[in-house]
Amino acid sequence: MKLKIKPHTRKSFLTYALVIAAFTATQIYISSGSASNMFQGLLVPFCVYSIAAASLNLTVGILGELSLGQAGFMCIGAYSSAIFSVVTKDTITNVWIRFPIALLIGGIFAAIFGVLIGIPVLRLRGDYLAIVTLAFGEIIKNVFAALYVGYDSKGLHFSMTSQGDLGLEPDGTMLIKGALGISGTPKDSTFVIGFVLLLLTLIILYNFIYSRTGRAVMSIRDNRIAAESVGLNITKYKLITFGLTAFLAGISGALFSHNLSILQASKFDYNLSILILVFVVLGGIGSIRGSVIAAIVLTYLPEALRKTGSSLTNYRMLIYSVILIVMMIFTSNAKIRGFFSAQFMKLKRLVIKDKTPAVKEAE
Amino acid sequence: MALLEVKKLGISFGGLRAVDEFSMTINKGDLYGLIGPNGAGKTTIFNLLTGVYKPTDGSITLDGVNLTGKSTIEINKAGIARTFQNIRLFSNLSVLENVKVGLTNHYKYSALTGVLRLPKYFRMEKEMNERALELLKPFDLQDDATTLASNLPYGKQRKLEIARALATQPKLLLLDEPAAGMNPKETAGLMETILTVREQFGVTVLLIEHDMSLVSGICEKLSVLNFGQLLCEGKTSEVLSNPEVIKAYLGE
């Protein structure tokens, strides 16, 4: 008997294909010269928010725990990678060596914090993770906003009060200037790198979800007691998942920081965490592809509405909120979803005359 | 040879003594029944045996290993698997995946191997698929392998729970009211299945059941529980004709 385990593989490859197609279309659009500056400036943020949303969906949709601290992990990733790049930009001049290391540093530091938070919190049941991550995000933002770091021939100097308190030698350089943040980060992020990272993120996420570990995680989400009864170590699987989410969030933060000349901690506030959660919810909880689409559409929309210059500009927040509500109805209402998938099937049957889908064995 | 030895097991919830001085010995290969009126403490005993509750007194030994006070996870690894009275499936996973979750601790590869899709991943997944299909066969579920567990009809959901429990390679299988909600025909089928499973997988079975046709049909030995205490134990026919059991549970 031939098993149809294929839907998983089909789902993931369709997503990769969509992302690659969108990338190609965008590149053609840019090379045609008709792309606006606004649009070009949004390309890296598209990737940043897509990665952040897709990885948050791993915790919210696959693990079934609510996390409100995605911005906190992005902040750690952004700062740690930016510090690395500022310090090494004169010694490692090759971007292709420096930037991947910076990205990894951002991811690893965020993952360390993710695991540290996860160890006590993920043992508990209920909404503790939401509460703790919410607090964590705010603490991280405020700590970085008050942090002064500089380095000179004697090494690194830290202070939480002021720049003068650091006691830098005359040859010293400031790294973090409190609320003014980090400046001078090399602008290493490009759309191509962002696209590659997004694709890698998707591959990591799909491969993780459709593996032994991912299955265990989903079983914990579906029924914790039953998962324990078949001998699954709940805390371990939760930690792995939450750590991976933090790692990818850190990478998206690193991508974000290398797209800005000045990085300020105030960017990583509560609103950013909620915004990313909105992408996840509206894209469909548990749907990685949906998160990416929602992140791109909802990042583009406010900017596009701002630009139109017509009378619409005044109503842009109104239009934005209406679209949010409509998306929510469409993605959460089973009847409406069923209606559209039925229409889609009809269309498919018209296009493909052959009713038996060619299913190949791959796994 | 004794597989499971329970000695003077007891648990109190505040002032309530839910199980008191309960002892039971199950031999390898037995098909053992645990019966008693509602609220007698049968499921509590299952929860004690699987580590959901920690006993206040007494000991549990499986195959010579002391399991008293161990966690659910350790107990499952030691060889006790269970099903639940109110079905607990992984409802958003397919039938095959439900069983594969049960195989998690026996077909190991790291999360990194999975993410990188190393050759080991494909090899292990293939083995898991084959093993899972093998486990589904006695329950006649292999054709539903890709169906979502929540879309299965009730009777099949109960069977899937047994298949998932068997996937963890238990020595002792605990079935909590496997025939609940089944019609007589389904119950008869289930009895066949339980006997086949015992034969094929070499497991010892302990089951809680109210359906007397199933109990008298397949159980070789019985323990009767009443108000948390052992009322009577022994061969099925003897126990069921015991006047005390008839008075407390079966009705005159």
Per-residue pLDDT tens over the stretch A74-117: 999 999 999 999 988 888 888 899 999 999 999 999 999 999 99
- Does the pLDDT of residue A316 top 60, yes or no? yes
Closest partner CB to B121 (pick from A211, A229, A232): A211
Q: What is the pLDDT of residue A62?
A: 95
What is the residue type of B142? Q
Better-scored residue on pLDDT, A27 or A331: A27
Residue A221 lies in a domain: yes
Closest partner CB to A215 (pick from B97, B115, B122): B97
- Cα–Cα distance measured from residue A145 to residue B121, given in angstroms and rounded to the nearest whole number: 45
Residue A165 lies in a domain: yes
pLDDT in tens, A34-51: 888 889 999 999 999 999
Domains in chain A, number: 1
Residue A212 lies in a domain: yes
Residue of B nearest to A1 (CA): B143
Please report, rounded to a whole number, the percentage of residues in chain A having pLDDT higher than 70.
93
The alpha carbon torsion through A87, A92, A97, A100 (nearest 10 deg) reads 0
Better-scored residue on pLDDT, A183 or A53: A53
Q: A3 at the B interface (CB within 8 A)?
A: yes
Q: What is the pLDDT of residue A3?
A: 52
Q: How many CB atoms lie within 10 A of CB B207?
A: 24
CA distance B28 to chain A (A): 21
Whether residue A212 and residue B77 make contact (CB cut-off 8 A), yes or no, is no
Note whether A106 and A80 are within 8 A (CB).
yes
- Does the pLDDT of residue A302 top 90, yes or no? no
**Domain range enclosing A122:** 18-26+39-268
Closest CA to A58 of A199, A196, A205: A205
| Residue numbers in chain B where pLDDT is lower than 70 | 252
The answer for B 66-95 residues in CB contact with A (under 8 A) is: 72-73, 76-77, 81-82, 84, 88-93
- Cα–Cα distance measured from residue A132 to residue A129, given in angstroms and rounded to the nearest whole number: 5
Three-state secondary structure call for residue A13: helix
Q: What is the pLDDT of residue A330?
A: 77
CA distances from B114 to A41, A214, A228, A293 (A): 36, 9, 22, 25
Whether residue B104 and residue A221 make contact (CB cut-off 8 A), yes or no, is no
- Does the pLDDT of residue A168 top 70, yes or no? yes
Scanning the structure block, which residue is given the tokens 């990478």?
A251
Note whether A251 and A107 are within 8 A (CB).
yes
Q: Predicted confidence band at A33 (pLDDT cuts at 50, 70, 90)? A: confident
Residues of chain A in contact with residue B96, where contact means CB-CB under 8 angstroms, are: 3, 5
Whether residue B104 and residue A4 make contact (CB cut-off 8 A), yes or no, is no
The answer for A 196-225 residues in CB contact with B (under 8 A) is: 204, 207-208, 211-216, 218-219, 221-223, 225
Q: What is the mean pLDDT of residues A205-218?
A: 96
Note whether B4 and B170 are within 8 A (CB).
no
Closest partner CB to B104 (pick from A216, A229, A240): A216
Half-sphere exposure of A320 (CA within 13 A, CB side): 17
Please report, rounded to a whole number, the percentage of residues in chain A having pLDDT higher than 90.
59
Whether residue B111 and residue A1 make contact (CB cut-off 8 A), yes or no, is no
Q: B150 at the A interface (CB within 8 A)?
A: no
Q: What is the mean pLDDT of residues A149-168?
A: 80
Q: What is the mean pLDDT of residues A19-25?
A: 95
CA distances from A337 to A11, A23, A289, A341, B148 (A): 17, 27, 16, 6, 18
Whether residue B72 and residue A4 make contact (CB cut-off 8 A), yes or no, is no
Which of B101, B107, B152 should we substitute to test contact with A (largest number of A Cβ atoms within 10 Å)?
B101
Note whether B26 and B32 are within 8 A (CB).
yes
Q: What is the pLDDT of residue A200?
A: 97
Closest partner CB to B101 (pick from A1, A219, A233): A219
Note whether B220 and B244 are within 8 A (CB).
no
- Cα–Cα distance measured from residue A273 to residue A56, given in angstroms and rounded to the nearest whole number: 10
Q: B130 at the A interface (CB within 8 A)?
A: no
Q: What is the mean pLDDT of residues A303-319?
A: 75
Residue A52 lies in a domain: yes
Look at the pTM and tell me if it is higher than 0.95.
no
Residue of B nearest to A225 (CA): B88
- Does the pLDDT of residue A358 top 50, yes or no? no
- Cα–Cα distance measured from residue B5 to residue A67, given in angstroms and rounded to the nearest whole number: 45
Better-scored residue on pLDDT, A1 or A119: A119
Q: What is the pLDDT of residue A1?
A: 45
- Does the pLDDT of residue A362 top 60, yes or no? no
Q: What is the pLDDT of residue B252?
A: 66
Q: What is the mean pLDDT of residues A252-281?
A: 93
Range scoring the smallest mean pLDDT among A176-185, A333-342, B156-165? A333-342
Residue A2 lies in a domain: no
Q: What is the pLDDT of residue B215?
A: 93
Better-scored residue on pLDDT, A186 or A361: A186
Q: Please compute Rg for chain A using Cα positions.
A: 22
Q: What is the pLDDT of residue A311?
A: 67
Q: What is the pLDDT of residue A304?
A: 83
Closest partner CB to B84 (pick from A222, A226, A240): A226
Residue A284 lies in a domain: no
Better-scored residue on pLDDT, B5 or A327: B5
Better-scored residue on pLDDT, A280 or A92: A280
Note whether B146 and B95 are within 8 A (CB).
yes
Closest partner CB to A231 (pick from B52, B73, B111): B73
Q: What is the pLDDT of residue A42?
A: 93
Q: What is the pLDDT of residue A310?
A: 63
CA distances from A61 to A73, A317, B127, B182 (A): 18, 28, 28, 34
Residue A151 lies in a domain: yes
Closest partner CB to B92 (pick from A4, A214, A218): A218
- Does the pLDDT of residue A334 top 80, yes or no? no
State the average pLDDT for chain A: 88
Residue of B nearest to A211 (CA): B114
Better-scored residue on pLDDT, A124 or A48: A48
Better-scored residue on pLDDT, A293 or A316: A293
Residue A319 lies in a domain: no
Q: Predicted confidence band at A159 (pLDDT cuts at 50, 70, 90)? A: confident
